[in-house]
Structure 1
Amino acid sequence: MATPVKDPLTGAETTGHVWDDSLQEFNNPLPRWWLWTFYGTIIFTILYWVMYPSWPIGNTYLKGIGNDITYKTDAGEEKTTHWNMRALLAHDMQNGAEAIKQQEYLAKVGAASYEQIAQDPDMSSFVRSYGVGMFGDNCAACHQSGGQGVVGQFPNLVDDDWLWGGDTTAIENTIRHGRLGYMPAYSKTFDETQLNQVANYVLTLSGEPAVDAAAAAEGQKIFQGQAGGCYMCHTKEGTGMHAQGSANLTDKVWTIANLPAAETPEAKLEAVKAVIHNGVKRQMPVFGKDGRNLSDTEIKVLVAYLQQMSGGATAQ
């Protein structure tokens, strides 16, 4: 066994390595606290591997022991699984202090009428905070985060002009059962002259000047007669019908033809002609049973939120 080399000045044991004739490397042991900390990290790692999901094994992985989490699925079924962040989040969202408080408010809102919700400051505040999240999850993709919609595709929900009716009963039916917006294409019904005449007349219904007054007069006959039959959905006055979701053509609210973006009367005429020529077919999905499966209370919160957003729906 080799005799340890010691530093002649300090007497400390060295490794025997020398640089520049005098620079030596001491062979000092690591501090005990450092060693025990290092050993502790090894023990902690082994315990973590055993208790929590860790190493892959074949087609699966170590799922841990003693940390099962129980929560309810979206379908309302109780499920117990090994510890994981998704299950932990679901559990906390359902059983945390804030979650329990939220559930209490949901139950309170679910038992109240729309009129009571609108008159109660606490419930109205809850509807605003909870509803904005629901709207973002379920509606904003089409109607935009502010509810302003997209002209030509998705209706504006903040203008107090509802195709299928703006009272809470109508809004609830729309959300619960979905809607199919349909207008037949007149591309094979009208020739170019008739199409031009009806479009001119439709412009006048909302107070827009007709590009051709004589054509508008002929368009009225087509609109209100059997040749066009437009009045059967839009009424002879052009005010539309909530029962069919047919647009009011007299209120200057355009959901398909983008007249606000048209700079000239001719451009507005072309926008209206395009809608009549191509027709309309758009569908809103079902959010009630057999659809997105929103609960009755969630639908009520969403309706109350839309009522606040539009500022014009009436409770019924």
Structure 2
Amino acid sequence: MADHNPFPGENNTGHVWDDNLRELKNLPPRWWMIGLWASILWVVGYTVLYPSWPVGQEPTQGILGWTQMKEYKRGLEQVAAKRAEFEDKIQGMTADEIIADPGLTQYTLASAKVLFGDNCSACHGSGGQGNPGYPVLADDDWLYGGTTTKIAQTISGGRQGAMTAHQNILKPEEVDTLAHWVVQMNETAGKGGSEAGWALFKTKGCTACHGQTANGVLAELPNGDVVTVGAANLTDGIWRFEPGGFESAKHTILYGVNQHGVPETRNAVMPAFADAGKLTDEEIKKLVVYVHELGGGQ
């Protein structure tokens, strides 16, 4: 091919394709060569200054002694130094005292966001909106009360409510009557339940857990706390177990909540974070503030 070069006066290799496509032997532009040698020098300088080449299980250390772990630890020290002022203040304060201070509240919310994401969001959602089968924390509906004291008790010791399975206690027509009554109570804010439903509610022992007015409260204390066993409020429009409605209410009445030996029972268990050693007292205090301020604290 080179013996029959159709471009003999051109600085090419003699390789020609499709009559006129050929490989030239021109040198690269000077700027390109400068960049090439500069990059080589940069690599040499980098390998001298920083960890670079693997030698056994460790890289060469570099004369600066820089490592990512050292950089990370310095960053942690800087963050800790900025947080120290706030951490020292909240250490001796209660959750209520923190909430009363807007500045400390904002700091605590920012600080506890990661705690909530690591420990709570899997069940309650990243914003407290609740995942299927788990309570919403961003509303004002509380099974055990929404004061900081109650929230702290819930996080520390966990919760495991219980409701009797009535499949062998109530007649099918009684179950249907109660399920319809629950729907009526939810839709009318507790004012439209049928007389037959109210009669069953009171005679079948439902008031022992749901209270005389079906709002889930057994007694209200002077300090604002409520006495409750975690039974749902049947007078609001909020359903503990989605999707709600007649069939959902009927399922709960029939099979109960956390009933051993009943495969269809509702499962509703909150772990005890303090008893299990998963969270410190300070972390629980921050989470109490965070949950309280999601929108439904009392």
Considering the TM-score relative to the shorter chain, is it more than 0.5? yes
Counterpart-to-counterpart distance in 1, 2:75 and 2:273: 22
Residue aligned with 2:229, SS = coil
Match 1:129 to one of 110, 117, 120: 110
Matches within 5 A, 1:262-301: 268-280=245-257, 281-291=267-277, 293-301=278-286
- 1:27 and 1:161 map into 2 onto residues whose CA distance is 77
SS at match of 1:182: coil
Q: How does 1:1-316 map to 2 (within 5 A)?
A: 20-21=8-9, 23=11, 37=38, 40-41=41-42, 43-44=44-45, 46-47=47-48, 52=51, 55=54, 57=56, 61-65=57-61, 83-84=67-68, 88-89=71-72, 91-96=73-78, 98-150=79-131, 153-205=133-185, 206-207=189-190, 209=192, 213=194, 216-217=195-196, 219-225=197-203, 228-241=204-217, 242-256=227-241, 258-259=243-244, 268-280=245-257, 281-291=267-277, 293-313=278-298
Matches of 2:126 and 2:36 in 1, distance apart? 57
Contact between 1:52 and 1:62, CA under 8 Å: does it hold in 2? no
Write the distance in 2 (CA, Å) between the matches of 1:53 and 1:288.
45
Structure 1 residues 39-62: Cα deviation after superposition (integer angstroms, max 9, x where no partner): 6345346547xx6375385xxx32
Equivalent residue number for residue 14 of structure 1:
none
* Closer, same or farther: CA 189–56 of 1 in aligned 2, 3 Å: farther
1:35 deviates by 8.8
Output the CA distance in 2 between the equivalents of 1:304 and 1:103: 19
Identical-residue share of aligned pairs (%): 31
Deviation at 1:294?
2.2
- Any idea what SS the aligned residue of 2:240 has? coil
Q: Which runs of 5+ in 1 are unaligned?
A: 1-18, 70-81, 260-267
Q: Which has the higher contact order (CA 8 A, sep 6+)?
A: 2
Task: Give, in angstroms, the shift of residue 83 of structure 1.
Answer: 4.1
Letter in 2 for 1:290: A
Q: Distance in 1 between matches of 2:205 and 2:166?
A: 11
> Measured at CA, do residues 26 and 111 of structure 1 come closer, stay the same or move farther in structure 2, by a change above 3 Å?
same
Q: Alpha carbons of 1:83 and 1:250: their partners in 2 closer, same or farther (altered >3 Å)?
A: same
- 8 Å Cα contact 1:107/1:297 also seen in 2: no
Q: In the aligned structure 2, how far is the partner of 1:167 from the partner of 1:111?
A: 19
* Count of matched residue positions in the alignment of Structure 1 and Structure 2: 257
Distance 1:34 1:279, change over 3 A: closer
**Residue 236 of structure 1: CA displacement?**
3.3
C-alpha contact (below 8 Å) 2:96/2:148 kept by paired residues: no
**Structural RMSD (CA):** 3.7
CA deviation after TM superposition for structure 1 residue 163, in Å: 0.7
Report the equivalent of 1:11.
none
Question: For structure 2, which runs of at least 5 residues remain unmatched after alignment?
Answer: 1-6, 13-24, 218-226, 258-266
> Residue 35 and residue 165 in structure 1: after superposition, are their counterparts in 2 closer, same or farther (change >3 A)?
closer
TM-score relative to the length of structure 2 = 0.69
